[in-house]
Amino acid sequence: MNRLLQDTFTKELPQDPTVENTRRQVEKACYSLATPKKTSNPKLLHVATEMAETLGISKEFIGTHEFLEIVTGNKVIEKSKPYAMCYGGHQFGHWAGQLGDGRAINLGEIVQDNQRWFLQLKGAGETPYSRTADGLAVLRSSVREYLCSEAMFYLGVPTTRALSLSLTGDQVLRDMLYDGHQAYEKGAIVCRVAPSFLRFGSFEIFSVRQDYKTLKTLVNYTLKYYYPHLPKNSKASYIQFFKEVTERTLTMIIHWQRVGFVHGVMNTDNLSILGLTIDYGPYGWLEGYDPEWTPNTTDRQHKRYRYGNQPNIGLWNLYQLANSLYPLIEDAEPLEEILEDYKTNYGLSYLEMMRAKVGLFSKHELDSELLEALETVLQKTETDMTLFFRLLSTIHKNDTPAAAITKIKPSFYTPSALKGTVLTRWETWFTNYLKRVQNESLSDVERQEKMNKVNPKYVLRNYMAQLAIDKADEGDYSLIDELYTLLKNPYDEQPSYEKWFCKRPEWARNKVGCSMLSCSS
């Protein structure tokens, strides 16, 4: 890990001249130096070996005490300058001012196989951006971030990654449900990895403060390393930059909708400039298909970040980014055009993605209607999204509607609702669907094979993560490893893990951590 010497971020961007670790407003700087807090009794719980390999970190080194010390913040790698990034953000639709890495400390950059990776310790203690909080993270939220970021990667969803999950040996005080009941929990650190942790809010902060000089420096830096194909530092390249960020954001959200992932806190400080899923907090997975669902208790009332609203919020956030870049471009029209195109492109990409999910690989003008009807009927029987789409691939062209319903029925949470008009609606839907499938040139086997590449068999259901957390809390980390292994091949049949291909058990319906989560982490 001594290759952490390449440090473009700290070398090329302005540094906060104050070096004390005191909370403050940091002006005209992209980062502040910050040293991770010493941990009292660190313990490595899990290492993502594939991620380590990608970084060029050897198995031998992972086994050393030095590795443990580095990923838990006790050892600062020679010549590296750990730091926290300055950013702002719109939270729940309102400008929140300076936020920044309040509990994430960047170790530096590794370049391996021409790919730049930033390493960051989440939960490593206070920084100038910690505001009123402690800079720490607890085991439950760390297990969730660790498992989910890797699971998303294997699902093919653009995401930040994780290298390791550790306990700090320290206790952390949290009010998990925000109901006045504080309790100590085990402290933990995830070593996160990403080509960049820059967010929309990284740019917004300078624009809001009218510090266009730093804004320009940061945009030029981003272009140099992440959009090198764009012409250098001109208005035209800034417009193109915005266009590409828009496209990447759209692609990411299409993937979220495809796998049923609900981010939960799509504030602009949680949207990556590279279109990566970032900051796994009170996220969740759709179980019963429901566009109105949000996992985040803080958002219970307005449901701003509900599943069905993610594309709109993506666009809303892009508007904020466009506003931030405007001072460098001084022409609203091209930005507005890009934002307009997002709407059209989203519609087209969504249709394409949904066609693939139901196994239609040619186009028909009535497909939108067919898919809309499906989204309605899925909710009538409270249908498990993951199970439904996977079981749909087992249907044959020549099945009767009744036979098709029997095949997908295990995905219903309320099979008793399958009567009267609901039954008729399902029968009608399958009659239309089967007719449509009969016009496809693919055989049943070929269609199934293609469908199974876009419809995962296994996702990190909310209750699964909670089971792993409950065991880990008792000192048993086996389920973390089991889920990690399972989710490395989410599209494959894994007979020994068939127990995870099932609906959420009833006990988990309203259990904390299994259905709704607070931001407390």
Footprint of ligand AMP on 449-468 (CB under 6 A): none
Q: Given CA atoms 202, 11, 17, 131 in this order, what sign does their dihedral have?
A: positive
- Distance in Å from the first CA to the final CA of the chain: 29
Which of 107, 127, 111 is closest to 119 using CA atoms?
107
The residues near 413 (Cβ < 8 Å, ≥ 6 apart) are 287, 288, 381, 382, 383, 384, 503
Figure out which of the listed residues 36, 82, 100, 275 binds ligand AMP, where binding follows CB under 6 A.
100
Return the one option of Mg ion, ligand AMP, none that residue 125 interacts with (CB less than 5 to 8 A, by type): none
Nearer to Mg ion, 270 or 272 (CB): 270
Name the residue nearer to Mg ion (CB basis): 174 or 503. 174
Enumerate binding residues for Mg ion (CB under 5 A): 270, 279
The amino acid at residue 33 is L
Q: Return the one option of Mg ion, ligand AMP, none that residue 82 interacts with (CB less than 5 to 8 A, by type).
A: none
Structure tokens given for 379:
């909710």
x-or-dash string of contact with ligand AMP, 234-273, rule CB under 6 A: -------------------------------x---xx---
Report the residue number, 149 or 270, with the smaller CB distance to Mg ion: 270
The two structure tokens encoding residue 349: 């990409």
> Please, is 457 exposed, middle or buried when counting C-beta atoms within 10 Å of its C-beta (0-12, 13-18, 19+)?
buried
Question: CB under 8 Å, gap of 24 or more: what pairs does 154-157 form?
Answer: 154/487, 154/488, 154/489, 154/490, 155/255, 155/259, 155/456, 155/459, 155/490, 156/255, 157/252, 157/255, 157/256, 157/259, 157/261, 157/277
- Which listed range, 134-142, 236-244, 296-304, 435-443, lies at the site for ligand AMP (CB under 6 A)? 134-142
CB atoms within 10 A of CB 91: 18
102 contacts ligand AMP (rule: CB under 6 A): yes
Rg (CA), the chain: 24
Residue nearest to ligand AMP (CB): 102
Least distance to ligand AMP, CB of residue 459, Å: 22
Q: Is residue 134 a contact residue for ligand AMP (CB under 6 A)?
A: yes
Output 89 or 260, the one with its CB closest to Mg ion.
89
Minimum distance of Mg ion from residue 116's CB (angstroms): 21
Please, which of residues 103-122 interact with ligand AMP by CB under 6 A?
103
**Which CB atom, from 187 or from 282, has the smaller least distance to Mg ion?**
282
Note the residue count of the chain: 521
Nearer to ligand AMP, 136 or 464 (CB): 136
Q: Select the binding partner of residue 145 from ligand AMP, Mg ion, none (C-beta < 5 to 8 A, by kind).
A: none
**Shortest reach from residue 84's CB to ligand AMP, in Å:** 8
* Closest distance to ligand AMP from the beta carbon of 130 (Å): 4
Q: How far is the CB of 220 from ligand AMP (least distance, A)?
A: 24
**Ramachandran area for residue 293 (φ above 0: left; ψ -120 to 50: alpha; else beta):** beta
Residue 477 is classified by DSSP as -
Answer yes or no whether residue 37 interacts with ligand AMP by CB under 6 A.
Answer: no
- In our burial notation (b when 16+ CB lie closer than 10 A, e otherwise), range 290-299 reads beebbbbbbb
**Is 3:111 a contact under the CB 8 Å cutoff?**
yes
In the list ligand AMP, Mg ion, none, the entry touching 101 (Cβ below 5 to 8 angstroms by class) is ligand AMP
Please, which residue, 66 or 175, has the CB nearer to ligand AMP? 175
Instruction: Quote the least distance from Cβ 277 to Mg ion, whole Å.
Output: 12
Q: What is 321-376 written as a DSSP string? A: HHHHHHHHH--HHHHHHHHHHHHHHHHHHHHHHHHHHTT--S--TTHHHHHHHHHH
Q: Which helix (H) or strand (E) holds 189?
A: strand 183-194
Residues labelled catalytic: 269
Position of minimal CB gap to Mg ion: 279
Q: How far is CA 487 from the centre of its chain?
A: 15
Asked whether position 171 contacts ligand AMP by CB under 6 A, the answer is: no
477 binds, among ligand AMP, Mg ion, none (CB under 5 to 8 A by kind): none
The interface with ligand AMP within residues 268-327 (CB under 6 A) comprises 269-270, 279, 281
Residue 503 interacts with ligand AMP (CB under 6 A)?
no
133 or 183, CB closer to ligand AMP? Answer: 133
Both tokens of 109, joined, read: 């950059």
129 belongs to the binding site for ligand AMP (CB under 6 A): yes
Using DSSP bridges, classify how beta strands 94-98 and 115-122 pair: parallel, antiparallel or unpaired: unpaired
Sites of contact with ligand AMP (CB under 6 A): 99-103, 129-130, 133-136, 265, 269-270, 279, 281, 519
